Amino acid sequence: MPVNLKTIFKLLLSLGITVVFLWAAFRSVDLTLLWDTMRRADPFWLVACAFLFILAIPPRAWRWQILLRPVASDITLWHTSVATLIAYAGNNVFPRAGEIARVMEVKRGRDISLSAILATVLVERVIDLIALLTLFVAILFTLREEIGRVFPWMEGVAIAAFAGSLLLLVLFGLLSTYGDHALTLVQNSVGRLSQKLAERLVEILKALFKGLSSVKGSSGYAGILLSSILLNCIYILATYVTFLSFGFSSYELGILDAVVIMVISTVGVIIPTPGGTGTYHYFCSQALYRIYDIPLAEALAFATVVHGIAFITYLIAGGPGLLRLLFQNQLSKKG
């Protein structure tokens, strides 16, 4: 399948998933009541939510900076922050496009292989997944029955993914320790089938080893752990302040409930749609409605507003950088 057709197919599939989840989320809601509920939200806490979304950028950028040290020792926190904002803006347009965009932003002006930067993105995504699944396993201790009733498939998938992620993390650790032996093993075994494939795998593994070498030592581990904790705490707080905006304290929703909603909503965002559109609305509103008995119009109003704030905030903050990157990329192709 030609590259252009592949791209079109992926885009149509993503849009199709978006439409299905938007329909599932909004089909039973009175849109007039939904709009009235959104209008009554306290703007002070909505501004606080937007501020927290921006505040989440430095911890993520700091963690990525740690992972990038072996391949881009001159990279600054400012540069990784800009690249991260570009990534968020790109993901709003096309699923996972932001990951490629931030790789291109870091590579710009540097003699670094794309594989080396992509390896750090892969490691970061695994860390994200482990953090999310750790929180999910934690909330199962208090809401296992409720979550199982609303999303019966989620527990099994999450536990399997958690085990797989831990296994992958252990594998990363072993590979970073015994990298040379692993490269030789891959070269010899895969080379019997295809020398070209073996060379490609070795190139990817070398990049991965280089990225993993940044976390060796207590400072690397501590930085990644601290940045991951800060990042998730900010997202939880952003959810909580929006509870306050909608007056959900009257339903006795507190900070621990914000953890539950943040985790379940993020599971939805993993499904590839532009900026989590549709999937976030469905998972977030269903969790509020069916686990906490929040009226559906209020639950969906909450999901729509939180998603809208994140979408608009990151598009405004990262959009100019994304356009600049695309423009420079076009100029370099013409040159």
Taking only the tens place, the pLDDT of each residue in 286-321 is 999 999 999 999 999 999 999 999 999 999 999 999
Helices (H), the chain: 3-26, 31-39, 43-55, 57-68, 77-93, 97-107, 114-150, 154-177, 179-191, 195-212, 218-245, 255-270, 279-291, 296-334
DSSP letter, residue 56: T
Over residues 195-223, mean pLDDT: 69
Q: How confident is the model at residue 186 (pLDDT cuts 50, 70, 90)?
A: low
- Is 2 a member of any domain? no
User: What are the two backbone dihedrals, phi and then psi, of residue 251, each rounded to the nearest 5 degrees?
Assistant: -95, 10
What distance, in Å, lies between the first and last C-alpha atoms of the chain?
29
Tell me how far the alpha carbon of residue 92 is from its chain's centroid.
12
- Is 4 a member of any domain? no
Q: How confident is the model at residue 193 (pLDDT cuts 50, 70, 90)?
A: confident
Over residues 321-331, mean pLDDT: 86
- 86, 322 Cβ separation under 8 angstroms: yes
Write down the mean pLDDT value for the chain.
87
- 291, 259 Cβ separation under 8 angstroms: no
- Is 100 a member of any domain? yes
The position carrying tokens 């939805």 is 268
pLDDT digits (tens, 9 = 90+) for 77-130: 999 999 999 999 999 988 888 999 999 999 887 888 787 788 888 888 888 988
- Number of domains making up the chain: 1
- Is 136 a member of any domain? yes
Please report the pLDDT score of residue 74 as a whole number.
87
Over residues 153-174, mean pLDDT: 78
Structural domain that includes position 104: 20-322
The pTM is what?
A: 0.88
Question: Does 211 score more than 70 pLDDT?
Answer: no
- Is 12 a member of any domain? no
Question: Does 1 score more than 50 pLDDT?
Answer: no
**% pLDDT > 90, the chain:** 52
- DSSP string across 85-154: HHHHHHHHHSTTHHHHHHHHHHHTTS---HHHHHHHHHHHHHHHHHHHHHHHHHHHHHHHHHHHHH-TTH
Tell me how far the alpha carbon of residue 102 is from its chain's centroid.
13
